[in-house]
Amino acid sequence: MSKNPKKTEEVLGGATSQPMEDLTGTSVDFFREHLVQLQGAMKHAPMEDHVRLILNEPKNEVIVNFPVRMDDGKFELFTGYRIQHNNILGPYKGGMRYHHDVTLAEVKALAALMTYKCALLEVPFGGAKGGIRIRPRDYTKTELERITRRFTHDLGSNIGPEYDIPAPDMGTNSQTMVWMMDTYMNMHGATDKHAQRRIVTGKSLTSGGSRGRTKATGQGVVYCVQEWADEKGFRLDGSSFVLQGFGNVGSNTAQILSRLGSIMTAVQDHTGAIYNSQGIYPRKLIDWVEETGGVAGYPGAEEISPEDFWRVKCDILVPAALELQITEKVARDLDCRVIVEGANGPTTAAGEKILLEKGVDVIPDVMANAGGVVVSYFEWIQNKRSESWQLQEVDSRLHFMMKRAYHEMRNFAREHDIDNRTASLAVALERINKVYVERGVFP
Ligand code: GLU
C-alpha cells in the first residue's frame, strides 16, 4: 500500500516486533499455539469426545471483501473477518481488531480465547473475534468511518444484539463502536432502533457506553496483580513494573498500578522502548504519546533496544500489545517475578515452558485481561434495561467477578498441581462440557 501516513485519533497499542514470527524467524501460527495449550488443559478437565471435536474449530468463519472510496476519490478493497468460535453459553462476544497483521489464524485463536474467557468469568456469552487487515494510522478519520460503516453493513445479520456483539480491540476504540452502532441502527426499522444499541459494547458514555469500560481491562489486570501480591505476601508499594504496549490496556494499567505505589521503569510500543530506573510518570507519558504518536523520544527516559527492553529487571511484567511476544529466547532473558497478560496470547508454548522452569508466575490472558469483556457485559445489561450504573457499582461488580475467577483458577491449579494457564482453561472447559452434556447435540 503506497499511502502517506495520516494522523488519526484512534488509540493504538502495538509493539515493534513482528507478531507472527518468533525471534528466530520461524513462522508461528497463533491458532496452532492455542490448540497446544488447549490440548494440555483438556487432559485435566473431564471432556466428552464430541465436545473436544466441537471446540477444535470455530462454528462460523465470516470473511468479507469490500470496496471503500478513499478521500482522493480512488477505491481500495479491504478484507474483514468475524470468527464465531462458540455460543453454547450465550451470544458470541468479542472485539474487532484493526491491524496490518490480522490473519484468519490470528482471529480464530482470539475468538477461541474469548469463549474460554467468558466461561471462566461466568459471563453468559460465547466467543468471537473480528477485524480488518489494515494499518489504521494510514487512513484519515473520514476514511476509517467509511471503512467501519461498510464493514458493519457487509456483516449484515451475521452480528446482532442477541447473536454476536462486537467490542473494541487493538486499533479500534469507542468511536469505532459508535460508528458500528449507528450503522446497525440505521439498517433496522425506526420503531425499534434503540433496542439495537447493545449491538456493540465499548461505546462512548454519551452514546450508551458504561462508566468504567475504558479502563476496565487495565483495572482487571491490576485486580489480578493485587490478588497475586496478597497470595505471595508481596508489597506493591515500592515494587517495579514494565509494560509492553501503551494503548488502552497498557496506559490504564500503568495509571492504576502506579496509584498503588508501583513504579514503571520501562515501556515499549511500536515506536521504540524507553527506560528510567527512577520511574516514568504514566500521566506524562500518556500526554507525550497523544502528542507524538508513541513512547519514542519521551524526554523523561532513555531509549533502549528491544533486546534490552526484555532484560530490564522488574517485579511485574505486563505484556499489553500483540500475541506471541514472549518466545523461548525472550523467556530466557526475562528477569521478573510475575507476568500478567494484558494482551491475548503474548506467550508462546515454548516461552511458557521456560518461564515455568524459571519459577516465574504467569497470570494468563483469559484471566488477566477479562476486565474488558466483564464490563462489556455490564454495558450490555445496562442498555437492555435502560439503566446507567455509577462507577463504584461497575468497579465493585468487576472486582467481585475477577476475584472469584482468580481463586477458582488458583484452587484448580493447586489441586491438580498444574500451571495457571492450564488451570484457567480447564475450569472454562469443565463449564462448557457440562452444558453440552446437559443439552446434547442437535439433531
Ligand atoms: N477485545 C477485548 C478482549 O479481547 C474485549 C472484548 C469485549 O469486550 O467483548 O477481551
Which residue among 160, 182, 207 closes a domain?
207
The reported pLDDT for the residue numbered 189 is 79
Segment 303-313 shows an average pLDDT of: 98
Residues 121, 95, single domain; the answer is: yes
Residue 53 neighbours by CB distance under 10 Å = 11
Residues 162, 238, single domain; the answer is: no
Longest dimension (CA), the chain: 64
The reported pLDDT for the residue numbered 192 is 87
Q: Closest residue (by CA) to atom 7 of ligand 1?
A: 373
Condensed to tens digits (0 to 9), the pLDDT of residues 236-259 reads: 999 999 999 999 999 999 999 999
Q: Is 336 exposed, middle or buried (0-12, 13-18, 19+ CB in 10 A)?
A: buried
Task: Report CA torsion sign: 283, 284, 290, 295.
Answer: negative
Q: Which residues are identified as catalytic?
A: 129
CA atoms within 13 A on the CB side of 117: 36
Residues 253, 138, single domain; the answer is: no
The reported pLDDT for the residue numbered 28 is 64
The reported pLDDT for the residue numbered 302 is 98
Q: What is the CATH number of the domain that holds 15?
A: 3.40.50.10860
How distant is the alpha carbon of residue 94 from its chain centre? 9
Give helix 174-186 / helix 141-155 axis angle, nearest 10°: 50
Q: Which cell numbers in the block locate residue 397?
A: 461488580
301 CB within 6 A, ligand 1: no
Q: Which cell numbers in the block locate residue 43?
A: 487432559
Condensed to tens digits (0 to 9), the pLDDT of residues 279-297 reads: 999 999 999 999 999 999 9
Which residue among 162, 183, 207 closes a domain?
207
Structural domain total, the chain = 2
Residue 416: is its pLDDT beyond 50? yes
Segment 171-193 shows an average pLDDT of: 94
- Percent of the chain at pLDDT > 70 equals 94
Atom of ligand 1 nearest to the CA of 373: 8
Q: If you measure from the C-alpha of residue 128 to the centroid of ligand 1, how many angstroms do you get, rounded to a whole number?
A: 9
Segment 106-132 shows an average pLDDT of: 98
Q: If you measure from the C-alpha of residue 169 to the centroid of ligand 1, how many angstroms do you get, rounded to a whole number?
A: 6
Segment 397-410 shows an average pLDDT of: 98
Task: Report CA torsion sign: 333, 336, 337, 343.
Answer: negative
Residue 26 inside a domain? The answer is yes
Condensed to tens digits (0 to 9), the pLDDT of residues 5-51 reads: 443 333 333 333 333 443 333 446 899 999 999 999 999 998 999 99
Residue 1: is its pLDDT beyond 70? no
Residues 103, 249, single domain; the answer is: no
Atom of ligand 1 nearest to the CA of 170: 1
Task: Report CA torsion sign: 380, 383, 386, 392.
Answer: positive
Residue 186 inside a domain? The answer is yes
Q: If you measure from the C-alpha of residue 94 to the centroid of ligand 1, how many angstroms do you get, rounded to a whole number?
A: 5
Residue 315 inside a domain? The answer is yes
- When mean pLDDT is compared across 68-72, 341-345, 395-399, 439-443, the lowest value belongs to 439-443
Residue 381 inside a domain? The answer is no
Residues 291, 193, single domain; the answer is: no
Residues 16, 163, single domain; the answer is: yes
Which residue among 186, 207, 228 closes a domain?
207
Residue 398 inside a domain? The answer is no
Atom of ligand 1 nearest to the CA of 97: 1
Residues 110, 222, single domain; the answer is: no
Q: What is the CATH number of the domain that holds 322?
A: 3.40.50.720
Residue 40, domain extent: 5-207
